[in-house]
């Protein structure tokens, strides 16, 4: 059984000084209590109550090679002794930029920033500088960072479908007045938005797999259609690869789907848990920076510690067979969940890939967008997650699982029986 007494005590204490007790609103969704971690090693973490948990949350994505990886540790420690940050150029950032160009299909230039939120804003700035237009399109149910212009229509209610709604208080309408929202996986809807805003749309940005909205896969022809439509309309197509980058393939969704959007954003798995993000894409668009049509800033951009971590992570991820192994691990979990559910009379479906997927109780066909995902049975999903936690298996709220290179057959042999007994406990 999961013990939570010490986490609860620390959480109560935290609420007296750290507003809300957590450092990002997402962590508040973690039940039964926001857990306090003591340490982490490989695919495990250890919390303040003495629970050892197999980690399928991976810090919401970044920990693609697990914690305490010897090569990642060595790279970071070596860099620490030669400087924390320079506020100037260094060899590492050139090496990292060249590495990204060689690993990610059709990426001709990159820029660095620190978080996914920043990379998204940098991509939008670039698209606007390049096109001279101001509006952009984002999709319902997609999360592209927390800033006012884009934190809209992430969790729309059925009545709000088709409108642009702020996600929380403190977001002035003026700051998202240039943001157009559109349902995902629906090319006709996107075409209509272009028709209603002729010559005004600088960019269309979306997750190539809707991981934040339930790991929905793009429909046949949808992503190429989106890219082509942007091309025809003179807008910049942007894949927000903050989750999918370096996770579903070394070259992210560009490699996985064999597609060439104009720009892509990267963060999370890019540096295995260290803070860095990037935008990559067509040189012509980055020329808007080179010739001064727009600008890019950031004190910590390309800082040597994060750069060293990114290079080491990418080297580890370049080992042959690593993505097949990670996906295989995830597909084995998905298959077990679906098979055992059927035996237990539970309706559910798993969606996504092997390295990032969701379990949706109550759905019998793959959801196409957040509108379908909202029909899932969250309550049973939460009970299943709680039962898995009692077996020491940690995944994220909403039925989200991340698989990384540190997960091996040893962990799988613990997960599979836990799935069986957790599913049985739901009857």
| Residue ranges binding ligand PLP (CB under 6 A) | 115-117, 120, 143-145, 207, 212, 240, 242-243, 267
Q: Token pair of 292, please?
A: 């001064």
**Closest chain position to ligand PLP (CB):** 116
CB of 120 to ligand PLP, least distance (A): 5
Residue whose CB is less far from ligand PLP, 120 or 326: 120
Count of other CB atoms within 10 angstroms of residue 222: 18
Q: Is 36 noted as a catalytic residue in this protein?
A: no
Q: Is 28 noted as a catalytic residue in this protein?
A: no
CB of 346 to ligand PLP, least distance (A): 28
Query: For residues 276 and 289, what is the distance between their CA atoms, to the nearest angstrom?
Result: 20
Residue whose CB is less far from ligand PLP, 207 or 411: 207
Query: For residues 164 and 150, what is the distance between their CA atoms, to the nearest angstrom?
Result: 10
Query: For residues 179 and 312, what is the distance between their CA atoms, to the nearest angstrom?
Result: 37
Residue whose CB is less far from ligand PLP, 114 or 131: 114
Query: For residues 337 and 361, what is the distance between their CA atoms, to the nearest angstrom?
Result: 11
Q: Which of 47, 49, 55, 240 is catalytic?
A: 240
CB of 313 to ligand PLP, least distance (A): 15
Nearest CA-CA partner of 247 in 277, 219, 281, 272: 272
Query: For residues 112 and 106, what is the distance between their CA atoms, to the nearest angstrom?
Result: 17
Residue whose CB is less far from ligand PLP, 51 or 184: 184
Q: Which of 11, 44, 143, 256 is catalytic?
A: 143
Residue whose CB is less far from ligand PLP, 252 or 330: 252
Nearest CA-CA partner of 82 in 308, 298, 374: 308
Query: For residues 52 and 40, what is the distance between their CA atoms, to the nearest angstrom?
Result: 9
Instruction: For residue 18, give the DSSP letter.
Output: S
CB of 240 to ligand PLP, least distance (A): 4
Q: Are 322 and 405 in contact (CB under 8 A)?
A: yes
Query: For residues 114 and 127, what is the distance between their CA atoms, to the nearest angstrom?
Result: 19
Q: Are 124 and 205 in contact (CB under 8 A)?
A: yes
CB of 116 to ligand PLP, least distance (A): 2
Q: Is 364 noted as a catalytic residue in this protein?
A: no
Q: Which of 55, 138, 268, 323 is catalytic?
A: 268
Active site residues: 143, 240, 268
């Amino acid at each position: 059984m999961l013990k939570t007494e010490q986490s609860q005590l620390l959480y109560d204490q935290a609420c007296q000084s750290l507003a809300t007790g957590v450092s990002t609103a997402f962590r508040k969704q973690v039940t039964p209590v926001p857990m306090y971690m003591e340490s982490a090693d490989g695919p495990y973490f250890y919390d303040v109550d003495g629970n050892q948990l197999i980690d399928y949350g991976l810090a919401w994505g970044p920990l693609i090679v697990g914690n305490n990886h010897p090569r990642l540790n060595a790279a970071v420690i070596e860099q620490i002794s030669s400087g924390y940050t320079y506020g100037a150029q260094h060899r590492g950032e050139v090496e990292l930029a060249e590495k990204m160009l060689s690993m990610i299909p059709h990426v001709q230039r990159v820029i660095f920033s620190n978080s996914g939120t920043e990379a998204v804003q940098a991509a939008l700035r670039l698209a606007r500088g390049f096109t001279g237009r101001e509006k952009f399109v984002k999709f319902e149910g997609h999360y592209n960072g927390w800033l006012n212009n884009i934190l809209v229509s992430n969790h729309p209610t059925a009545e709000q479908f088709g409108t642009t709604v702020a996600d929380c208080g403190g977001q002035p309408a003026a700051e998202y007045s240039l943001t157009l929202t559109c349902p995902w996986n629906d090319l006709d809807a996107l075409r209509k938005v272009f028709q209603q805003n002729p010559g005004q749309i600088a960019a269309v940005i979306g997750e190539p797999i809707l991981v934040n909205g339930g790991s929905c896969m793009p429909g046949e022809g949808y992503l190429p259609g989106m890219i082509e439509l942007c091309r025809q309309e003179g807008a910049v197509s942007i894949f927000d690869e903050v989750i999918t980058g370096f996770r579903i393939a070394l070259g992210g969704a560009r490699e996985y789907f064999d597609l060439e959007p104009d720009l892509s954003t990267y963060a999370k798995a890019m540096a295995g848990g260290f803070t860095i993000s990037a935008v990559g894409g067509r040189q012509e668009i980055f020329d808007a920076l080179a010739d001064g049509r727009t600008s890019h800033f950031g004190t910590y951009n390309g800082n040597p510690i994060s750069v060293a971590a990114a290079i080491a992570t990418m080297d580890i991820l370049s080992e042959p067979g690593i993505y097949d192994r990670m996906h295989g691990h995830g597909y084995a979990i998905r298959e077990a969940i679906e098979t055992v559910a059927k035996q237990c009379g539970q309706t559910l479906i798993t969606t996504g890939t092997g390295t990032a997927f969701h379990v949706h109780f109550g759905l019998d066909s793959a959801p196409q967008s957040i509108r379908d995902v909202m029909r899932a049975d969250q309550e049973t999903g939460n009970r299943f997650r709680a039962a898995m936690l009692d077996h020491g298996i940690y995944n994220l709220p909403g039925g989200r699982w991340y698989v990384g290179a540190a997960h091996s057959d040893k962990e799988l042999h613990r997960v599979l029986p836990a799935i069986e007994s957790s599913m049985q406990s739901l009857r």
